Amino acid sequence: MIRTLTDEDRMIAEVAGELFVGHPVIPATDEPVARYDAATWRHAAEVGLSALAMPADLDGIEGFAALGEVLVAAGAALSPLPLVGSVVTAQQLIALSVAGEHRAALLGGLMAGTSIGTLVAGHRGGAVRVEARPGGPRLTGAVDAVPDGVTADLVLVTAAGPEGVTLYRIDPADAGFTATRTRSVDLTREYARVELAGCAAQPIPTHELAAALSRVEDLATVARACEQLGAARRCLEMTTAHVRDRIQFGRALGSFQAVKHQCADLAVALDDAESAVSHAIWASGESPESLPVAAAMAGAVCARVAYRAADTAVHLHGGIGFTWEHPAHLYFRRAVSDTAVYGDENHFRERFLAASGIPSPNASNDDPGPSPQRSPHQQGVTP
């Protein structure tokens, strides 16, 4: 099955596309600096981007279809806005696992755009430990590759304790909290290393948190697949425009058979990615039980296509494609960084097998399970 878009969905995507005009912005440096400011995000929230895929009883816009279209546009522009980290990950986790007045209180500022949220997945691999103290629980540990970890003012942390995984809220102003921007291959996203040193934490009442975390991971995979689809589309557009206009040996570069074949093969691969994303978005709303399989499929296909499209763009642009002044390298950096932090095609194939109930040939009996996210620096792919 594939998604169907309403007129409202298309209108929202069109407005979002206008916000992204002029992106990507080629940075002056590869130092880890702020990629956007609160004013920019508030402007985006005013047109409803922060309320996408949120409950209707909180004046949200239900359904993932409109958000998917916005994410495709964001990926094409390599937008630095916190759509995946805040709107998809943090807000979806709250909407799925927190009820009543707690949910409304946490989502209010996020949906209005006055706050930015992030999730520190400390339960993975026991990265964050919980210590019971007289004044309340304290958290200790460190997690890399936290999106918008410095910018966010609503910080959620998951940690495993004696009673299982618990969701906590921490105050970024707490003396035990440190968030440091880290160098990344991707110059259009913000990543941070979050360190907790006895940080005071407020437990948040939740229900079915484990199921919510699993669904949020799938939704985040779909969201990144949407961005990767948009980035791949833009790479193909840039490349075909260049080879059409570039004259080489008295002929348009695109008239050479080898160049034609590369562009045609990439166009076919994009069709595959489009189908995988459409199915995953449909599954997110209409068939939740099939979402894990659909998300893994979209993740595998789009991770491959985004890298291939960016690599092709760099090479077919010739000498200019290797320069700092041309945006091709930003798309390549995004593709490499996504693979390093969130997983490559093989990672998502493993998830596909697991979600399908098929034993993986690479799995072992003592498999410790998912490992914590690693920063691009840890993966050995720093600039």
What number is the average pLDDT over the span 320-346?
Answer: 95
Task: Tell me, yes or no, whether 12 lies in a domain.
Answer: no
For 359, the token pair is: 């034993």
Residue 69 lies in a domain: no
Mean pLDDT calculated for residue range 365-378: 42
Let me know if residue 64 belongs to a domain: no
Tokens of 135: 């004044």
- Read off the pLDDT band of 17 (50, 70, 90): confident
- Mean pLDDT, residues 53-77: 92
Supply the DSSP string of 252-284, one letter for each residue: EGGGSHHHHHHHHHHHHHHHHHHHHHHHHHHHH
Residue 15 in any domain: the answer is: no
Residue 373's identity, in one-letter code, is: Q
Q: Is 132 exposed, middle or buried (0-12, 13-18, 19+ CB in 10 A)?
A: exposed
Q: Does residue 299 lie within any of the structural domains? A: yes
**32-41, 263-272, 320-329: segment of lowest average pLDDT:** 32-41
* Structure confidence at residue 2 (pLDDT): 62
Q: What is the pLDDT of residues 188-238, one digit of tens each?
A: 999 999 999 999 999 999 999 999 999 999 999 999 999 999 999 999 999
Indicate which CATH number applies to the domain containing 272.
1.20.140.10
According to the per-residue pLDDT averaged within each range, which of 9-18, 129-138, 299-308, 356-365 is highest? 299-308
Look at phi and psi of residue 318 and say left if phi exceeds 0, alpha if psi is from -120 to 50, else beta. Answer: left
Residue 269 lies in a domain: yes
pTM summary value: 0.91
Tell me what pLDDT residue 363 has. 60
Roughly what angle, to the nearest 10 degrees, separates helices 7-19 and 65-77? 20
Q: Considering the domain boundaries, does residue 336 fall inside one?
A: yes
The total domain count for the chain is: 1
Question: Which pLDDT band, with edges at 50, 70 and 90, does 372 fall under?
Answer: very low
State both tokens at 163. Answer: 């009673």
Query: How does pLDDT run across 116-174, given as a tens digit for each residue?
Result: 999 999 999 999 999 988 889 999 999 999 999 999 999 999 999 888 899 999 999 99
Report angle CA 209, 215, 220 to the nearest 5 degrees: 120
Domain around 262: 210-355
In a domain, 220, yes or no: yes
